[in-house]
Amino acid sequence: MKVTRREFGWLAGAAALSGVLMEACAKAESPGIGWCIVGLGRISMDHFMPGVKQGKTGRIVALVSGHRDKAEQQAKMYGAADSAADSAIYNYEGYDRIRENKEIDAVYIALPNSMHAEYTIRGAKAGKHVLCEKPMATSVADSRAMIDACRAAGKKLMIAYRCQYEPVNLKAIELIRSGAIGQVQAIESANGFNISPGEWRLNRKLAGGGPLMDVGIYSLNASRYLTGEEPRDIRANSSVIDHDGRFNEVEENVGWTMRFPSGIVASCNTSYGSDMNGFYRVHGAKGMIELSPAFGYQGIHMKAELAGRPGIDMPTPQTGADQFTVQADYVADCIRNNKEPKSDGEEGLRDMELMSAIYKSAGLPGL
Ligand code: NAD
């Protein structure tokens, strides 16, 4: 068939227009990842949900809570199903009904630690991807069961290690890998806060352990991502100093050292009796990198001293996207493009096994 110049121009225009229309239709059909928020506490309401709203890859379509009033108010605030519709709000007993809600692609588990396994497994069985808060669970066996359930359902499992996606921490890793501070010799890290009485975090059944499970895990995980190695030799001590009723079930302090295969030694402390403003220092043969704070929601700050080179002073870059937006967008990318998350279930499991070894070394029960 012969096509005249004029017809060719018309056809090309139509093709371009249909491309634009198809893209517009695809966008209209794919409004982003539909999130179901499981547990309406501080981390979900103050951080994760605003983070999703700020991003462009997802929206909150459903909520699971034991408090109907709070859930309705949050559903309205985020336009979940455009109202406080019944299909947008579930209680814990009715959670499995999320299976019927096609708007939900992924669940975000933000419950006390001992509930992570059950709600991850039920979420996967309902056919949803899972982003689960740290610590992954309260036992190694539960962590394995979570991985197995998500695998069997063909769904992603990511543990919410937000610092692994945070730009200043990523810069520290890049500097270390590029040899900027020479061979790393030692890491120091601490993370802790002075806990108020009455918190579920002090209840062993709900928390699984004390500050190690809650905030010490940041120093442990950082030691692993900074070295890129898995520790082999762990020695630990724990103590309770304040006999004021807060530490009848969990430890108040844990200090531990880890030796990595290269010989790097990490020394870490965690506490529920002291505000430690979570930090780390990485000492190399040719310099030192300090992140203080290293694990906060904002204001992460790096200072690096490099032999024979100008030092580095790097505050959190003003990109406009907070850590929770970055994390939610990352999960969306993994789901849409079928990528395995960097902080997958296996990553969470490794920390669980190591925390178990830390507790055992300190003379406490393992996980
Ligand atoms: P929170 O106490 O503020 O919220 C817990 C939620 O669980 C509440 O909505 C509560 O109603 C609900 N819940 C259901 N059953 C419960 C029960 N039996 N006892 C107590 N609460 C119950 O806690 P949070 O600080 O939001 O922590 C939730 C999870 O998120 C924890 O696993 C914690 O380790 C993790 N977390 C992560 C970060 C992070 O930066 N990634 C920060 C804080 C907390």
- List per-residue pLDDT tens for the chain, 367 residues long: 344 444 444 434 444 444 444 434 343 456 799 999 999 999 999 999 999 999 999 999 999 999 999 999 999 999 997 655 678 999 999 999 999 999 999 999 999 999 999 999 999 999 999 999 999 999 999 999 999 999 999 999 999 999 999 999 999 999 999 999 999 999 999 999 999 999 999 999 999 999 999 999 999 999 999 999 999 999 999 999 999 999 999 999 999 999 999 999 999 999 999 999 999 999 999 999 999 999 999 999 999 999 889 999 999 988 877 999 999 999 999 999 999 999 999 999 999 999 999 999 999 999 9
User: Based on the domain organization, do 172 and 157 belong to the same domain?
Assistant: no
* 154 CA distance to ligand 1 middle (Å): 27
User: Based on the domain organization, do 180 and 303 belong to the same domain?
Assistant: yes
Counting from 1 in the atom list of ligand 1, the atom nearest the Cα of 111 is 7
* pLDDT score of 319: 80
Range of the domain at 51: 31-161
239 phi and psi angles, rounded to 5 deg: -155, 160
Q: Check if 128 is active-site.
A: no
Could you tell me whether strands 157-159 and 301-306 are parallel, antiparallel, or unpaired per DSSP bridges? unpaired
* 199 CA distance to ligand 1 middle (Å): 10
User: Based on the domain organization, do 172 and 86 belong to the same domain?
Assistant: no
* pLDDT score of 17: 42
Q: Is residue 354 part of a domain?
A: no
* pLDDT score of 12: 42
| CATH label of the domain that carries residue 235 | 3.30.360.10
Supply the residue whose CA is at minimum distance from atom 17 of ligand 1.
112
Picking from 272, 288, 315, the residue at the C-terminal end of a domain is 315
Residues having CB closer than 6 A to ligand 1 are 39-43, 66, 110-113, 133-134, 160, 162, 200, 206, 214
Q: Is residue 104 part of a domain?
A: yes
Picking from 161, 191, 224, the residue at the C-terminal end of a domain is 161
Q: Is residue 155 part of a domain?
A: yes
Could you tell me whether strands 33-38 and 253-259 are parallel, antiparallel, or unpaired per DSSP bridges? unpaired
* 264 CA distance to ligand 1 middle (Å): 34
Residue of 73, 108, 200 to test ligand 1 pocket, by largest number of atoms within 8 Å of CB: 200
Supply the residue whose CA is at minimum distance from atom 38 of ligand 1.
43
Count of structural domains within the chain: 2
Q: Check if 56 is active-site.
A: no
The size of the chain, in residues, is 367
User: Based on the domain organization, do 220 and 298 belong to the same domain?
Assistant: yes
Picking from 161, 191, 214, the residue at the C-terminal end of a domain is 161
Residue 84: which residues within 8 A CB-CB, separation 6 or more? 71, 72, 75, 76
Cβ atoms of 143 and 273 within 8 Å: the answer is no
Q: What is the full DSSP assignment across 117-140?
A: HHHHHHHHHTT-EEEEPSS--SSH
User: Based on the domain organization, do 301 and 175 belong to the same domain?
Assistant: yes
User: Based on the domain organization, do 185 and 87 belong to the same domain?
Assistant: no
Counting from 1 in the atom list of ligand 1, the atom nearest the Cα of 160 is 41
* 346 CA distance to ligand 1 middle (Å): 22
User: Based on the domain organization, do 274 and 187 belong to the same domain?
Assistant: yes
For the whole model, what pTM was predicted?
0.91
Residue of 37, 43, 70, 136 to test ligand 1 pocket, by largest number of atoms within 8 Å of CB: 43
Q: How far apart are CA 192 and CA 195, in angstroms?
A: 9
Three-class SS state of 47: helix
Counting from 1 in the atom list of ligand 1, the atom nearest the Cα of 44 is 26
**Of 119, 128, 134, 156, catalytic:** 134
Cβ atoms of 105 and 128 within 8 Å: the answer is yes
User: Based on the domain organization, do 73 and 148 belong to the same domain?
Assistant: yes
